[in-house]
Amino acid sequence: MKIIAIGRNYAEHAKELNNPVPTTPVIFMKPDTALLKDNKPFYHPEFSQDIHHEIELVLKVSKEGKHISEKFAANYFEEIALGVDFTARDIQTKHKEKGLPWELAKAFDNSAPVSNFLPKAQFADLYNLNFKLDINGETRQQGNTKDLLFSFERIIAFVSQYITLKKGDLIFTGTPEGVGKVAVGDHLEGFLEGNKLLDFYVK
Ligand code: MG
């Protein structure tokens, strides 16, 4: 199982980090050891003083495919979830300045909490989904999939030109604006269209 993540897929988030709005998808990966399930606590690593939350819609790939056309890409995922793309922003900033890869900032252990999955058929319109992240009862990030720069189908078509998608792979589809630092003791709650899917603590 692999985790593919899309960077800068909401224009307002790209701008808040002073990044250009991309014209093709920006992708990176996290290993399976990044996955954190069942609302288990996230233990703040010691190597970073600036771990950021990024709430994201997550797709679960339902069958193997490569060179998938955008027209058929919707057939390659049946379930969606919420995830947090934890990012060591201090490390990422240094690596970006030097033109180095992002793995140490993005792919560390437990950097990808993911909720239970819901059937996509449960939602009337995948491109009008409200989702948000509350921390200690206060809303920090609020997004709607209508603001995606690259649709789920475009992401699947794009990624599968380069990397074969396999059943069970996860795709993090990008975060809306409002990213920020988490601290030990924080209580994170993620909501998708009113369903509370994420509910865990930073320890
Ligand atoms: Mg992200």
Report the CATH number that the domain containing residue 103 is assigned in CATH: 3.90.850.10
pLDDT at residue 45 above 90?
yes
Tell me the C-alpha distance between 20 and 42, whole Å. 31
Centroid of ligand 1 to alpha carbon of 176 (angstroms): 9
In angstroms, what is the span from residue 174 Cα to ligand 1's centroid? 5
**Is the full-model pTM beyond 0.95?**
yes
Domain count, the chain: 1
Other beta carbons within 10 angstroms of residue 16's beta carbon come to 14
175 alpha carbon – ligand 1 mean position (Å):
5
Q: Tell me what percent of the residues of the chain surpass a pLDDT of 90.
A: 94
- By residue range, what is the domain housing residue 88? 3-201
Residues at Cβ < 5 Å from ligand 1 ion: 54, 85, 175
C-alpha 60 – ligand 1 centre gap (Å): 16
**What average pLDDT score do residues 69-78 get?**
98
Q: Strand pairing partners for 116?
A: none
Contacts of 40 (CB under 8 A, 6+ apart): 113, 200
